[in-house]
Amino acid sequence: MHTYDVVVVGAGPAGAAAALNALRLRPDATVLMLDAQAFPRDKVCGDGVAAEVFDLLDALGVGGVRELGPEAPWLRLRTPGGRAVHRAAPRPNRVITRTVLDAALAGAAVAAGAELRTHRVRALVPEPGVVVVDGVVAGRTVVAADGANSVVRRALGAPAAPPGDTAVAIRGYTPVAAEPGTLTIEYAGGDHPAYAWSFPVAGGGANVGYGVFDKRGAGSRADLLERLAVLLPGQQPDPATLRAHHLPLSTTPRFQPDGRVVLAGDAAAKVNPLTGEGIFDAVASGILAGRSALRGASAGAVHRDAMDRTFGRHHRHVGTLARLAARPAFLDAAIGAAAAHRTVFDCAVRLGLARGTVSPTALALVAAQRPGSVIRARRRATAASLG
């Protein structure tokens, strides 16, 4: 049985980033990536890649990724109440299919010195000094980057994500984009936060889908498609491309035990509860995991602290705002303020697509959209929770 310094389970953006950073910090480290599927392979996702993701990849020495998909400089949001904002993002985001993006990042990790094998991990057994994976390979540390249904996370004894902290989404591809160059989001009415999206991909089509930010309000596959058709008429996805998925939101209780296994990406419940965005958090948490994985027996404790320092304040902010955004009055006020004030719009983009926090100025401008409303009544409590 061969022993590696780091075994990475899952070679998507989180796993590839972990491998890349471990090798950047220790070029002589032996790193093995295991993925259940051979690359290139599809992945359920909206395919939107925030501008800040490329900053992280640049720091890892991975260039050329920007050119893999078209720019989407504009962002358009509309609420059921009719409030809308259509502005250029602070920096242009891009749309890159996961088939293309993941293969490029895994390839970059291999070029940096990692080994990649197609293997579906089923069991982990801690032994003195190592963690044995499926009885065939051992790692001095293991990075769990095997997605929302992480086998590694379950093997560590993590509780299941609560239904209220689990998003459900369906995604497909349509030959015609709602608006070229624009990430379009149409919020849905109802008892649970939800929206439909249309993100233009290379070739003139679009990635379209519908997501509900509470598993209890998802309904059936047919229900999701019906709601998508209402919000995005004329954007019917090709049935052959439809895929559905569950996503653990970052409001899920934190789980990172001590020991030689660290979690990143969806396996660590790093999905933004405001937008469902997960690629930025996957790469950022993967970078942290690659550093922590070089710490041997202390990796788990080191990683838990690093994740808290890096994401803690952001998670508090987006968690609080996600609860407020479930209220139609707040959502209308937020979108209205974003349309009226560039500072609010830019703040919202950073909150939803990267690791931003809400400023007191932005919060006050949102509150001013509905004086005397529930927003003002809860202003002090909200400000305290965002501290």
Taking only the tens place, the pLDDT of each residue in 288-322 is 999 999 999 999 999 999 999 999 999 999 999 99
For residues 180 and 3, give the distance between their C-alpha atoms in angstroms, rounded to a whole number: 49
Q: How far is the C-alpha of 196 from the C-alpha of 171, rounded, in Å? A: 10
Q: How many Å apart are CA 25 and CA 9, to the nearest integer? A: 19
Rounded mean pLDDT of 7-31?
Answer: 98
State mean pLDDT over 7-25.
98
Let me know: does 278 contact 147? Beta carbons within 8 Å.
Answer: no
pLDDT grade for 377, boundaries at 50, 70 and 90: very low
Nearest to 51 by CA among 13, 86, 17, 92: 92
* Letter string b/e over residues 150-163, b meaning 16 or more CB atoms within 10 A of that residue's CB: bbbbebbebeebee
Which secondary structure element, helix H or strand E, spans residue 166, and what is its range? strand 166-174
| Local structure of 60: helix, strand or coil | coil
pLDDT of 196 reads: 97
Q: Which two tokens stand for residue 351?
A: 């909150």
**Which of 235, 229, 227 lies closest to 207, judged by CA?**
235
Do residues 261 and 300 make contact, with C-beta atoms less than 8 angstroms apart?
yes
Q: Residue 174's beta-bridge partner residues?
A: 206
Q: Express each pLDDT in 193-225 by its tens digit.
A: 999 999 999 999 999 999 999 999 988 999 999
Round to whole Å and give the CA distance between 174 and 232. Answer: 11
Conformation bin of residue 252: beta by default, left when phi > 0, alpha when psi is -120 to 50 = beta
| pLDDT for 11 beyond 70 | yes
Residue pLDDT, tens place only, 32-82? 999 999 999 999 999 999 999 999 999 999 999 999 999 999 999 999 999
What are the pLDDT digits (tens) for 239-297? 999 999 999 999 988 899 999 999 999 999 999 999 999 999 999 999 999 999 999 99
Q: Where are the alpha helices (DSSP H) in the chain?
A: 13-25, 51-59, 98-112, 151-155, 221-231, 279-292, 299-325, 328-340, 342-353, 360-367, 374-377, 379-385
CA distance 336 to 344: 10
Cα angle for residues 351, 357, 359 (degrees, 5° grid): 115
Q: How many CB atoms lie within 10 A of CB 372?
A: 8
Q: Is residue 378's pLDDT more than 90?
A: no
Summarised one tens digit per residue, pLDDT across range 87-142 is 999 999 999 999 999 999 999 999 999 999 999 999 999 999 999 999 999 999 99
For residue 64, is it left (φ>0), alpha (ψ between -120 and 50) or beta?
left
Which residues, in sequence order, are bridge partners of residue 9?
34, 144
Options 3.30.530.20, 3.40.50.150, 2.30.30.60, 3.50.50.60; CATH for 2-41+55-63+98-160+252-314 is: 3.50.50.60
Q: In whole angstroms, give the CA distance from residue 258 to residue 248.
A: 21
DSSP state string for 291-340: HHGGGGGGHHHHHHHHHHHHHHHHHHHHHHHHHHHTSHHHHHHHHHHHHH
pLDDT for the residue 344: 97
pLDDT digits 0-9 by tens, 331-368: 999 999 999 999 999 999 999 999 999 999 999 999 99
Between CA 159 and CA 255 the distance in angstroms is 9
CB atoms within 10 A of CB 244: 16
Q: What is the pLDDT of residue 319?
A: 94
Q: Where exactly are the structural domains of the chain? A: 2-41+55-63+98-160+252-314, 327-385
| Span 150-163, average pLDDT | 93
User: Regarding beta strands 137-144 and 261-263, do their DSSP bridges make them parallel or antiparallel, or are they unpaired?
Assistant: parallel
Q: How many helices (H) and strands (E) does the chain have?
A: 12, 15
CA distance 74 to 118: 38
**Of the candidates 130, 160, 147, which has an alpha carbon nearest to the alpha carbon of residue 261?**
130
Length of the chain: 387
Is residue 55 helix, strand or coil?
helix
